[in-house]
Amino acid sequence: MKSSRTQIRHKISIANAKCWNILKRQATEFCNNTGLHGYKYISQTQRSKTERIIWAIVVFVSLVCAIVLIRMAWNYYATHPTLTVIESTHHGIWNYPFPAITVCDINRISYNLTKKFVENLKTPTNVSKEYLIQEMRLMNELLRPGIFGNDIQRNLTHLQDIIDDNHLTIFKVMDLITQNCSTLLTMCKWKGRIDQCDKYFKQSLSLDGLCCSFNYYTFPDTTTFKKYEHYFCRAEKEFLSFIKDLSVYTKTRK
């Protein structure tokens, strides 16, 4: 009975030894032939035992670090399954819609236009034209409330009464005392071709008063652009390399 057990143990030990030799031989071949750095120094018999142990520790630590990084990457992917990748960082500017451009006059209220406007107004007998011209500067209060202080309520009320007596609206008054687009914009060049500015620019209301806007649907008339909407799609590629698509020359008048 004991002899049979001894034989079995002997066979098992022989089998284990064969397996160990096979694994050792395969590991040695792998270390000698792999392109991974450090492995070949472990299997080279001409090196000292201490050096081979150090290289084995270095390789083992590197392997552990790689496993940890893979684990972290897998956990991140498991919690963030959707990844956003930029297909291309190159996108021609001609593929973007042409922007809206608004030009405003720094002189919001023209003195000459205001003088002409006041001369045609029906005014009370106790109000002079010169005084009313000076009071028209209060129209800036609509754009920048508080610029004249807090003691102008009576002046504004008086000015509003005169405007109402002439059956005018504030918007109409601003339109009459502000330069229109044809006088503010003296010359426009679109795609290298000189053209009339009022063909492209329309009057628009902004925080800076009445301005001139290009490629913008203005208030209250939003239908005037239908005739020129083929200008307002995209900037064309062939013009961008040589000249500006839009050039505007302005002139501020008193």
- 174: its two tokens: 């601003």
* Cα separations in angstroms, 177 against 69, 105, 116, 157: 71, 12, 9, 19
Task: Write down the domain spans for the chain.
Answer: 10-79, 99-228
- Considering only 104-108, 129-133, 151-155, 243-247, which range has the smallest mean pLDDT? 243-247
**DSSP-derived 3-state class of residue 122:** coil
Can you tell me the mean pLDDT for 225-252? 46
Is the pLDDT at 227 greater than 50? The verdict is no
Average pLDDT rounded to a whole number, residues 142-160: 77
DSSP classification of residue 136 = G
Top pLDDT among 222 and 142 is at 142
Sheet holding 185-190, edge to edge: 193-195, 185-190, 246-250
pTM (predicted TM-score): 0.50
